[in-house]
Structure formats: structure tokens, C-alpha cells
Amino acid sequence: MSVPGSAPEHRLRFRETFAGGDLRVAAAEVPVSGDFVAHDHDFLEIALITAGQGVHRSIRGDQALGVGDVVILRPGAWHAYLQCRAMRVFNCCFQQEVLHRELAWTLEDPLLSHLLWSGALREQRSSGGVAVLHLDAPAQRACRARLARLSRSCANRGPEYRAQRVGLLLLFLGELARHVAKGMTSAVVPPVVHPAVNRAIRLFQTDLAREWSLSELASALMIDESYLGRRFKSATGLSPLTYLARLRAEQAATLLLRDETPIAIIGREVGWPDPNYFARRFRAHFGLSATDYRRRFAVRG
């Protein structure tokens, strides 16, 4: 599958948006026509299609998009919009630190955890941190109204408005979570996340480069190894070490675009000191080599 020519200027625009006035959460409705070439994200993005139609390309392949479709992208994920006709996209973006600080508690909420932490990772091995869902008409109206309020609030860029923006973001996420819950039977509703799973994820985040093993992780959490594995898989759809690999790939993608640090050093920083192993794991997650990823998506100048 080919990736359209990169558009690092898209990422630069969002970087500039986030940079001023302590704005770490943003929303805006934008028109997209023709082909919008591939771009990456070092933040989380949730995109609601509000008009028109097009094709969404990611590591998952090509998917037709129409009104009511929602694309969820975790950090590092790349995607493109193709063959767009009168399409409008309401983008909601927030930086990783918001997820890890103000929204860290969402790990403990089954539906929000599924939406933000594991939903984009559960489906298939090659999801690349991308998930797509569809909203019914009432959910579309509710989500669009929440996003419109969030978009208007972004005019107030001072840090004193940060709590307001996070609150409006939560209202939007709550609407999405309610829609996810409506589409689930009692047999597939995400279970309450075991506290040990939350603690394990936080340990990974705080010491990503550590050479973790399942037995070492279980020992640090004072829990049985096999029990931890089962509860982690139930909560995230992945084993603990596969989830760790996803976090490492996402962090590596962010570091690749931050500066010109050699790829081998980035591999060591995220816990993959063997360059060949790093290359295989990065490509398995994003469908691109680390070199190609940097070349396509890095902002120059």
C-alpha cells in the first residue's frame, strides 16, 4: 500500500496552535477537498466527518468515509484523506501530557479507557493506533455541539482557561463513550480495569527504556504473573509486553520528528537498543521504517 506524499506543514500548523497561550486542547472544523496527503500526529486526534465523503488511508488500508464517521488516532499514527468531495472534518486534538495528567484517571473508567487507551489497539496487530467508528444521527448532533463549544473556547488562550477546555473535552469524550456503550452487548462491555493494569501502564510510562519482563513487572506490582497477564489482556486486548511495545513505538515516532537525533539513539531511549529489533518493531506498528517515517513527516526549518 502506498503512502501519499507527506504534509509536514499540517503538523506544523497544529504545533503552532498548541504553542501559544498554553493551548494543549484544540478543536476546529475544516474543509477537506481532493487529496489531503499523509501526515502524522504527535498528539491524539479525534476527527468527526460532518459533511461530504472521502476515503481514509492508514496502515489499516483504505476505508470509505461519510457523515458520522469518527477516526481516532493515537500519537505517531499517520493517515491521509483521498478523493474528498465537499468533506468537512471536525478535528479535536489534545497533547499526550493531557492524557497522562488531567485525563490519567480515565484508565479506571471502562468505556473511556476503551476509547482512549485501548480501543485503537485492540482490533488487529496492524491497527497502527488507528480506530474508526460510526455515530448515529443523535450522537452526531450531540458530539458536534460539544466540539463547537470547545472550538469557541479556544479563542481564550490563557492558562486560566485550561480547566474549561479540559472540561469541554471531557463532555465530548463522554458523548462518544455513551455511543460506544449503546453499541455493545453486555457480553462485550469493557470490564472494570483492574488497578494492577493501571499501575503497570504507569510503570511503563515512567520507565519506558527499562528492560521489562513479565515476571519483573508482576513482582513490582506484587501480583501473580499469569493473573496479571489475563487481567491486562482483558482490559487492553494486548499482553503487557505487547502494550509496552506500542508505547515504545509511539514515543519513538515522537522523538523521530523532534530533532535529528540518530535513530539508533532513539531506539535505546525507548528501550530497543538493538537497531535491527527496533527497525522490525517500528515497521510492524506503523508500516514504515523509522527512516521513511522521519523523511515523510518531519517538519523542516
Pinpoint the alpha helices (H) of 40-194.
96-100, 110-113, 119-122, 137-153, 162-182
Q: How far apart are CA 22 and CA 67, in angstroms?
A: 32
Residue 3 has pLDDT above 60, yes or no: no
Domain assignment present for residue 187? The answer is no
Residues 41 and 139 in one domain: yes
Residue 109 has pLDDT above 70, yes or no: yes
User: What's the rounded mean pLDDT across residues 202-217?
Assistant: 92
Instruction: Tell me the pLDDT band of 226, cut-offs 50, 70 and 90.
Output: very high
Domain assignment present for residue 188? The answer is no
Mean of pLDDT over the chain: 84
Residue of 174, 222, 171 lying closest to 195 (CA atoms): 222
Domain assignment present for residue 189? The answer is no
| The total number of structural domains that make up the chain | 2
Strands (E) located in the chain: 25-39, 43-58, 61-65, 69-73, 79-95, 130-134
User: What's the rounded mean pLDDT across residues 147-151?
Assistant: 95
Q: How far apart are CA 202 and CA 101, in angstroms?
A: 11
Residues 98 and 242 in one domain: no
Domain assignment present for residue 292? The answer is yes
User: What's the rounded mean pLDDT across residues 225-234?
Assistant: 90
Residue 253 has pLDDT above 80, yes or no: yes
Element (H, E) at 233: helix 225-236
Residue 122 has pLDDT above 60, yes or no: no
Residues 94 and 199 in one domain: no
Where residue 288 sits, what CATH number does that domain have? 1.10.10.60
Domain assignment present for residue 278? The answer is yes
Which domain does 67 fall in, by range? 8-182
